[in-house]
Amino acid sequence: MPIVQISRIQHRRGKKTDLPQLAAGELGWSVDDQRLYIGNGTVADGAPAVGNTEIVTSGSPSFSGALSYVYKGYLGDATPIVTGASGDVTRTLQATLDDHVSVKSFGAKGDNSTADVVAIQRALDELYSDTDQDDARARRVLFFPAGTYKINASLKIPPHAHLVGEGPDKTVIKNSSSGAVAVTMDDDGQVYGSIGNSSATTPTQIQVEGITFRNTVAHPGVSIDNATKVYFNNCKFQGSYVAGATDSANSKGVTVRSTTALPCSQIVFNQCQFTKFARLVDLSYDVTNVRFNNCDFSTSYYGALIGGTLDGSTNGLTVGPRDVQFSGSSWNTIHQQAIWSKNASGSVYPRNIISYGNWYGKEIANNNEGVGSIREVSIIQFDGDECTSTLDFFERTDLRRADGSSQLNAAPELQGIGIQDKAIKSQTLLSSQTATTINEYPGLSGKGFRIKYKIERDTNVRTGEMVIASSTTSISYDDESVDSGSDVGIILTATVDNKDSTAGNETVTLKYTSTSGSTATFDYQTTIIA
């Protein structure tokens, strides 16, 4: 017989207390508490147990429980903790999830294909620059899950931004158009040239962690504009510079831009990597208190160029960088100077530029002609006052020969106006020697040397200080010392030599003469006034 009508099927309904055992697949609706059940069927039919199974609805306790959250601690229900003064604090799942926010919640993909700049900028604006930005509760940490976020315009980072990625080369923001990967802006969205207008909050209290800023064209990584209290931790700044290429003023890993009214200050880079920019660091504008701690600098034309366009009169270029420190960092594969504090104007120049405890590799300041090049320039150059190099290690030999021989004049580690405190060395002095070389120092211009030393020979000890003044035409020295016990039988002298037939004597040589007897140990620490 053909089916001509589908009859309406009436399921069971009633109060929860009257709910019977339902048949297999039969539905039962509890009208008083708005809960739905379905019959399991018999065990013989394959059901795990006889009974009714609740179908989760908005009236189910398990449904509301799924939307609530109580912190349990790492042991969970095994050893419960109490989160409130009189019982547990219960929060909604929505409120709990809103404690953390990802750029993907704003539509960013991080797939190295989608243009993510609009989505990321929307996240930055909504969290830090919108109408509620004055409420600290709005300023959540913005998380960037691992991925490559492709952008085609500079990201604008507002005040109080806190950006966190999953680490260098894992979270990558990649710019493929002209301009910096990121710049700072005020809370009204105004960028350099307009920052602070209409009483807007200028960029401040910005923290960035675990992100690579990559520019695939010859433009900056990050430009810190009219900003104070900016902190980068464990970030990477990567450009497109190829080792051996020429300088490019646009290719800067990090730079600052100031105005006279709004100078930059308190900028810190900790455990960051700078690579493949013509200038890894470029600071000319007015900025104070800049720190680079435990960073890595590699593959560039200049390492840190400081004061390159400082002129003393242009707005924001009136006094230049001051109090810039590099400490505990490594440098290598740099075409020219690792650090050049440059006097470009003649009237004002960067001041108080400090290099402390850094490691400078072999491939620095040799004009891309290899280790031992006759054209090597200084690794550090200070053209201004109040600059020092303290306890830095220079792997490049002063002798400018790959084999370590002394056939060329010594190349300077530090040149210009500054003091270089070298690390302590120890050397064995042989007996019965006449004017034997201990060490050679660069003397390309007038320099002063202070060599503090201790000589031990048998049971006798001498401590003293050798002071040397040299020019390209003459040298004088004075050795003041005291002996404990008998004379150690060592005489220190200094000469100035011309080793490579260029104009002038350009190498200061420390020598010794010894009497016959035992060898001696010579421990010494050199300070060079460039």
How far apart are the C-alpha atoms of 450 and 494, rounded to whole Å?
Answer: 12
Q: What pLDDT score was predicted for residue 413? A: 85
Strands (E) across 79-211 are located at 91-92, 101-102, 111-115, 142-144, 147-151, 155-157, 162-165, 171-175, 182-184, 204-209
Residues 464 and 410 occupy one common structural domain:
no
Q: What pLDDT score was predicted for residue 408? A: 59
Q: What pLDDT score was predicted for residue 280? A: 98
Residues 277 and 376 occupy one common structural domain:
yes
Single out the residue of 460, 467, 454 nearest to residue 426, CA to CA.
Answer: 454
In a domain, 123, yes or no: no
Residue linked to tokens 């050893």:
79
Residues 381 and 498 occupy one common structural domain:
no
Q: What pLDDT score was predicted for residue 87? A: 86
Q: What pLDDT score was predicted for residue 228? A: 98
In a domain, 126, yes or no: no
**How many residues appear in the chain?**
530
Residues 343 and 436 occupy one common structural domain:
no
In a domain, 516, yes or no: yes
In a domain, 138, yes or no: no
Q: What pLDDT score was predicted for residue 370? A: 61
Residues 442 and 340 occupy one common structural domain:
no
Give the angle 202-203-209 at the CA atoms, nearest 5°.
170
Query: Tokens representing 2?
Result: 């053909």
In a domain, 3, yes or no: no
Is the pTM here over 0.75, yes or no?
A: yes
For β-strands 419-421 and 388-390, DSSP reports them as parallel
Residues 355 and 499 occupy one common structural domain:
no
Residues 403 and 431 occupy one common structural domain:
no
Name every residue whose Cβ is closer than 8 Å to that of residue 273 and which is 6 or more positions away in sequence. 168, 235, 236, 237, 238, 295, 296, 298
Number of domains in the chain: 3
Q: How many CB atoms lie within 10 A of CB 122?
A: 14
Collect the ranges in the chain with pLDDT lower than 70.
1-10, 62-65, 130-133, 368-376, 397-411, 444, 500-505
Residues 400 and 351 occupy one common structural domain:
yes
- CB of 463 closer than 8 Å to CB of 482: yes
- Read off the pLDDT of residues 427-482 as tens digits, 9 standing for 90 and up: 999 999 999 999 988 876 778 999 999 999 999 999 999 999 988 778 999 999 99
In a domain, 115, yes or no: no
Residues 504 and 419 occupy one common structural domain:
no
Q: What pLDDT score was predicted for residue 1? A: 39
- Read off the pLDDT of residues 113-144 as tens digits, 9 standing for 90 and up: 999 999 999 999 999 986 556 778 788 899 99
Residues 408 and 325 occupy one common structural domain:
yes
Residue that finishes a domain, picked among 56, 71, 95: 95
Residue that finishes a domain, picked among 397, 423, 449: 423
In a domain, 45, yes or no: yes
Q: What pLDDT score was predicted for residue 6? A: 44
Q: Classify residue 166 as left (phi > 0), alpha (psi -120 to 50) or beta.
A: alpha
Residues 419 and 462 occupy one common structural domain:
no
- CB of 271 closer than 8 Å to CB of 248: no
Residue 500, domain CATH: 2.60.40.1680
How far apart are the C-alpha atoms of 338 and 394, rounded to whole Å?
Answer: 11
How far apart are the C-alpha atoms of 98 and 279, rounded to whole Å?
Answer: 41
Residue that finishes a domain, picked among 37, 68, 95: 95
> Within 13 A of 350's CA, how many CA atoms are on the CB side?
35
Residue linked to tokens 């790492």:
74
In a domain, 437, yes or no: yes
As a three-state string, the secondary structure of 268-331 is EEECCEEECCCEEEEECCCEEEEEEECCEEEEECEEEEECCCCCCCCCCCCCCEEEEEEECCEE
Instruction: Tell me how far CA of residue 506 lies from CA of 159, 439, 501, in angstroms.
Output: 52, 14, 10
Residues 273 and 402 occupy one common structural domain:
yes
Name every residue whose Cβ is closer than 8 Å to that of residue 130 and which is 6 or more positions away in sequence. 138
Residue numbers of the domain that contains 355: 241-423
